[in-house]
Structure 1
Amino acid sequence: MTDPFTLTLILIVALSLFGASVGLSMMAGSFVYLILKGFDPSIASETMLQGLFNNYTLLAIPLFILAADIMNIGSLADRLLRFAQALVGRFRGGLGHVNVVSSLIFSGMSGSAVADAVGMGKIIINMMTRDGKYTHSYAAAITAATATVGPIIPPSIPMVLYAIVADQSVGFLFAAGMLPGLLMALAMGIMNYVIARKRNFPVDEVVPVRELPRITWQAMPALMLPVILLGGIYGGIMTPTEAAAVAAAYALLISVVFYRSVSFSEFYQALLGSARSTASVGVLVAGAITFNYVITREQLPISIAEFVGQFELSTTGFLILINVLFLVLGMVLEGGAILLIVVPILVPSVQAMGIDLVHFGVIVVVNAMLGLITPPYGLLLFITANITGEPLMRIVKDIWPFILALIGALIVITFVPDFVLFLPRLLGYQG
């Protein structure tokens, strides 16, 4: 007779292939596992509810989603893009550099790669393709690639999820993402410059120096949001969850009062969109919590740790294996599912190898973001393809140089832990 756990895995995969959400598939599989094992099925709902309602950190996710949606309906994106254009538009491939810098700035507000691609993406793609300056496929490719920085620079929804499953500090994880995020942006900026020289992309309009103070002043309320958030968290004034609430309130305040760019109907639509996104994430988290109970019952993390231990891998060999595993999983699984399903299984092995869990968290999140731009799943590829109307394969052809640049950054992030942990240690992290 087939093992109940094996049947559970088959059911989860089958339901997912037939179009069910990963969260619902995990719930159904866990329910079947409990029945086959002779346990009370109500354990599934009890575990799910306890995991959802006893975790204060989870509240940060819907609040960051709301903040991002409010920023997308206001004029924040336009002002931030104008600011970025004034800074770097004068260089070869200028609008490509603007794309990188604007994503870097916006990432300090939204915590979501999708929010970055949908909000900033529409505007910058139109700017790049106007008058045929850049091909639609290149504009889509660089927009998808730069959006991956969103969840690396704090705040970060994926890092909140990782903090929950790995029992780590959200604040230290946020700090650990700063330098890697800047490195990723630098790698993409260099790649854009190389491609711009090769394809003879134009220099954008040069903004006179005398205009910089005015443009900066107009963007200042938006630029202050990351300062308020990170200053509040690391100054001990508020927790990351409270910072998420402040982000949503501040985004609404500056959109309505300072920029006067949000109507009541637009705000209502932002609330509806946030509710849908939150429900989607909530189902995934609930399914993962339930399935993690099954994993614990099967003692799978211990079995994996013992299996890996048999090969007597060095730390370097183990990290190479982990990166390959996550890069492959990222091609077929959504990033949240990777964080919530795979990470709890691997944590004991990571600890046994002596790898710092905050450092490991950054490695995992960067890999998950790479998964958003690698076919066949590549959610950001689908989003930018939808915006531009370009065939997916043309975008894939143009995005490979950026994937290689990001893999180069990932190698540094993986094998230079002091680079990742420098800022957390300055803030008191003992790892």
Structure 2
Amino acid sequence: MIDPFTASVLSIVLLALLGLPVGHAMIASSILYLMLAGQDMGIAAEQLLNGMFSSYILLAVPLFILAAELMNSGSITLRLLAFCNAFIGRFPGGLALVNVAQSIIFAGMSGSAIADAAGSGKMMQRMMTEGGKYPPAFAAALTASTAVIGPIIPPSIPMVIYALVSDASIGYLFLAGVVPGILMGLVQAGIIVASARRRAFPVERPVPLRELPGITLEALPALMMPVVLLGGIYGGVTTPTEAAAVAALYALLVSAILYRSVSVASVYGSVLSSARTTASIGMLIAGALVFNYVVTVENIPASLSAWLAGFDLTPIAFLLMVNVILLILGCLLEGTTILLVIVPVFIPTANALGIDLVHFGIVCVVNIMLGLITPPYGLLLFVMTTISGCPLSRIIREILPFLLALIVALALITLVPDLSLWLPRLFGYNG
């Protein structure tokens, strides 16, 4: 007789290979486990409903997605790109550096790497390739690699999900992502600067100084969005979930009233698109909540913790091992699935080793974001293949230097916890 847990895991793999969405596969396989274990199959519905409807922080996910959609449908992104280009475009490889800068700024608004690539990334791809300025494959690779900054600098949908499974503070997680996100941008800028003269990257027409105040004024409402969002959270005015609602409302008001760049039809399209994305993520979360019950009943986290304890790992050795595992899994699995199913298994061991859960969360989220651009199955690689029309093999060749630089940044973030914890401690975090 096959073990119920083994049957459940094999069922997830088989159903996923047959094309069933992972969330649905986890729900079906969890019900199979309950049936084989002789438990009430209604437990699956109970776990799903209790997890989805008792978690206030999950409301932040659709609201951040809606904010990003509203920004993309309006002209907020265009004004941010014009602002970045005015100050950075004049340097060698300037437009490529603008790509990095806009990702850092845009990161404070969308919370989603896919949203960044599909929104501002699509515009950057067009700007970089028109007139043959940059090779399309290079532009696509750069756009994919800069998009991973989005969920590191707050707000961050993956951090909201990590907070759900770890009970870490969302506010402190958001703060902890700022310095690592900027570090990731700097290493990417370093690759661009090193390549600019060798590959004869173009220099953009310098914007006259007299035009800079006007461009800045045009972009100011968009630039204020991170201030409104984070100021509300850390000023104690709003919770992160309420701040997500404020971000969506702010994006709508700026686009509709100040910039007058959205119509009723485009707002409806944004709501519809965000609803589809939310439903997709929601099914993953629902499936993971049910499957996590199975994992808990089987005592997998405690068993793994005891197994790892046998290796007498130091905190650094454990973190490096987690990096390797998550980087490999990131090539094969969707990031939300890793956060909801794999990461919770590591949390008890991280706790036992005295690793700060906010720092651990940043390490996990950075790993998962790098998985989005890691060959062969990084999701952002496929997104940019669709947007750019370039063959996947050429994008992979161009993205490798950026991926290696980001892995170096990940090593620094892992080995130097103060890079993540300095800012939270400045705001009163005691970890």
TM (normalized to structure 1)? Answer: 0.99
For residue 193 of structure 1, report the CA deviation from its aligned partner.
1.1
Amino acid at match of 2:340: L
For residue 316 of structure 1, report the CA deviation from its aligned partner.
1.8
For residue 171 of structure 1, report the CA deviation from its aligned partner.
0.2
For residue 292 of structure 1, report the CA deviation from its aligned partner.
0.4
Residue equivalent to 1:64: 64
Residue equivalent to 1:35: 35
Residue equivalent to 1:162: 162
Residue equivalent to 1:113: 113
1:227-270 alpha-carbon deviations (Å, 9 max, x no partner): 00111100100000000000000000000000000011111111
Aligned-residue sequence identity (percent) comes to 58
4+ residue runs of structure 1 moved beyond 3 angstroms? none
Residue equivalent to 1:147: 147
- Mapping of 1:18-417 within 5 angstroms? 18-417=18-417
1:115-145 alpha-carbon deviations (Å, 9 max, x no partner): 1000001111111001101000000000000
Q: CA separation in 1, counterparts of 2:297 and 2:35?
A: 14
Amino acid at match of 2:412: V
Amino acid at match of 1:208: P
1:304-334 alpha-carbon deviations (Å, 9 max, x no partner): 0000000111222111111000000000001
For residue 22 of structure 1, report the CA deviation from its aligned partner.
1.1
Amino acid at match of 2:154: P
Amino acid at match of 2:223: L
Q: CA separation in 2, counterparts of 1:17 and 1:195?
A: 40
Amino acid at match of 1:95: L
Q: CA separation in 1, counterparts of 2:248 and 2:316?
A: 41
State the Cα RMSD in Å.
Answer: 0.7
For residue 197 of structure 1, report the CA deviation from its aligned partner.
2.1
Farther-moved stretch of structure 1 (61-70 vs 345-354): 345-354
The answer for unaligned runs of 5 or more in structure 2 is none
1:13 aligns with 2:13: yes
Q: CA separation in 1, counterparts of 2:142 and 2:192?
A: 8
Q: CA separation in 2, counterparts of 1:273 and 1:428?
A: 38
Farther-moved stretch of structure 1 (89-98 vs 374-383): 374-383
- Secondary structure (helix, strand or coil) at the match of 2:177 reads helix
1:269-303 alpha-carbon deviations (Å, 9 max, x no partner): 11110100000010000000000000000000000
Amino acid at match of 2:228: I
Q: CA separation in 1, counterparts of 2:17 and 2:105?
A: 37
Amino acid at match of 1:72: N
- Secondary structure (helix, strand or coil) at the match of 1:199 reads coil
Q: CA separation in 1, counterparts of 2:344 and 2:371?
A: 19
Q: CA separation in 2, counterparts of 1:402 and 1:87?
A: 23
Q: CA separation in 2, counterparts of 1:110 and 1:319?
A: 28
Q: CA separation in 2, counterparts of 1:58 and 1:327?
A: 26
The answer for unaligned runs of 5 or more in structure 1 is none
Amino acid at match of 2:252: L
Q: CA separation in 2, counterparts of 1:205 and 1:176?
A: 37
Equivalent pairs counted in the alignment come to: 431
Farther-moved stretch of structure 1 (198-207 vs 408-417): 198-207
Amino acid at match of 1:153: I
Q: CA separation in 2, counterparts of 1:192 and 1:203?
A: 13
Q: CA separation in 1, counterparts of 2:343 and 2:359?
A: 13
1:161-206 alpha-carbon deviations (Å, 9 max, x no partner): 0000011110000000000000000010111111222211111111
Amino acid at match of 1:402: F
Q: CA separation in 1, counterparts of 2:358 and 2:221?
A: 32
For residue 397 of structure 1, report the CA deviation from its aligned partner.
0.3
- Secondary structure (helix, strand or coil) at the match of 1:367 reads helix
1:5-29 alpha-carbon deviations (Å, 9 max, x no partner): 0010000011111111111111011
Amino acid at match of 1:363: V
Q: CA separation in 1, counterparts of 2:257 and 2:404?
A: 43
- Secondary structure (helix, strand or coil) at the match of 2:237 reads coil
Q: CA separation in 1, counterparts of 2:370 and 2:311?
A: 28
- Secondary structure (helix, strand or coil) at the match of 1:198 reads coil
